[in-house]
């Protein structure tokens, strides 16, 4: 990864509510009944521009009932009960809620303008297990990572420089080599503690993924672990340190080192905590400390890769998919 930071790059203006109402539906890219979420592709035009509408991806997810609204839910928020069936002592209903700005019905993430890479990423796709040897990483994956323009993670640099999302930061450790910023992931509503999801983004820019880690990074990894396990239970009373899951993805969704922090009861993250995706921070530390200082340069790593991923065709061509003989 280049260490270049496009500090003068422009922060995109957020579309207004009126502009969003003019979102032109094209198709559903993907949906997940577990998370009650859907990804929609459409077109969106800025009212302040004469340019044609641009591709946009809208990620919608219904929100969990908040603890603060439950005491008055039956009396004040339920507008209508619609009976659907009954059997003996069991009765089933659908319901309609009144609108209340304090308790939104859904959350949304807009990607606009969306690129073809975004559309491929958020579309439904068959997935396959891949065995990434050190040779495959060096000859295929690493060149791909190095080809990604720095602009693709400008949003990360905006967070680190506090040009964006500064009000969402809950913890910052400013030391250059072991420091990081901790903030809520956009998948979390910041209310339901059982769904807690934080992300720690490191300040240093020389670590792109787990393959770059060696024993010289142990102070950083241990500091991440210690600070997070100490801070989170204080920030969010009711959560214990032994209820937190700290892990790293490989392959990650973006190539600037970051650590995911979730509550153990948060098991609805689509693929995020699955085997062949998530590597526990404790295990990473132990592998580097006790087994080999360059463990992740030598190890063969197994992970899931989607058919739309830019790496898939090369992985498929060289026979990296898991078979009975590999």
Ligand-binding annotation for 237, yes or no, is: no
Residue tagged active-site, from 64, 135, 230, 258: 258
Ligand-binding annotation for 260, yes or no, is: yes
Ligand-binding annotation for 231, yes or no, is: no
Ligand-binding annotation for 55, yes or no, is: no
Ligand-binding annotation for 90, yes or no, is: no
Ligand-binding annotation for 255, yes or no, is: yes
What is the layout of strands, in order, in the sheet containing 197-202? 171-173, 180-184, 197-202, 258-263, 244-249, 278-280
Ligand-binding annotation for 217, yes or no, is: no
Ligand-binding annotation for 81, yes or no, is: no
Ligand-binding annotation for 221, yes or no, is: no
Distance of CA 254 to the CA centre of its chain: 9
Ligand-binding annotation for 253, yes or no, is: yes
Ligand-binding annotation for 256, yes or no, is: yes
Ligand-binding annotation for 289, yes or no, is: no
Q: Quick check: bond before 113 cis, omega within 30?
A: yes
Whether 258 is catalytic is yes
Catalytic residues: 258
Binding residues for substrate: 155, 165, 185, 187, 249-260
Binding residues: 155, 165, 185, 187, 249-260
């Amino acid at each position: 990864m280049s260490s270049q930071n496009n500090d003068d790059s422009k922060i995109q203006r957020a579309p207004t509510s009126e502009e969003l109402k003019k979102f032109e539906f094209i198709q559903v890219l993907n949906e997940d009944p577990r998370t009650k979420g859907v990804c929609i592709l459409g077109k969106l035009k800025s009212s302040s521009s004469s340019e044609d509408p641009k591709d946009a991806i809208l990620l919608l997810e219904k929100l969990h009932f908040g603890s603060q609204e439950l005491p008055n839910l039956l009396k004040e928020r339920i507008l209508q009960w619609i009976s659907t069936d009954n059997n003996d002592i069991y009765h089933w209903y659908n319901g309609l809620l009144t609108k209340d700005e304090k308790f939104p019905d859904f959350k949304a993430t807009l990607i606009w303008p969306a690129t073809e890479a975004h559309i491929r990423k958020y579309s439904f796709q068959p997935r396959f297990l891949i065995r990434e040897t050190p040779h495959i990483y060096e000859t295929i994956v690493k060149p791909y990572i190095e080809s990604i323009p720095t602009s693709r993670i400008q949003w990360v640099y905006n967070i680190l420089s506090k040009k964006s999302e500064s009000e969402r930061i809950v913890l910052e450790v400013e030391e250059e080599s072991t420091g990081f910023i901790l903030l809520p992931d956009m998948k979390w509503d910041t209310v339901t503690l059982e769904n807690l999801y934080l992300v720690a983004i490191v300040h240093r820019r020389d670590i792109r993924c787990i393959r770059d880690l060696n024993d010289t990074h142990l102070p950083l990894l241990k500091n991440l672990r210690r600070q997070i396990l100490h801070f989170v239970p204080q920030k969010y009373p009711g959560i214990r340190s032994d209820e937190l899951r700290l892990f790293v993805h490989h392959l990650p969704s973006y190539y600037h080192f970051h650590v995911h922090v979730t509550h153990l009861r948060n098991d609805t993250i689509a693929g995020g905590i699955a085997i062949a995706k998530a590597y526990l921070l404790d295990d990473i530390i132990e592998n580097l400390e006790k087994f080999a200082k360059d463990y992740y340069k030598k190890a063969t790593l197994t992970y899931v890769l989607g058919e739309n991923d830019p790496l898939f065709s090369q992985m498929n061509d060289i026979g990296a998919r898991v078979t009975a003989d590999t």
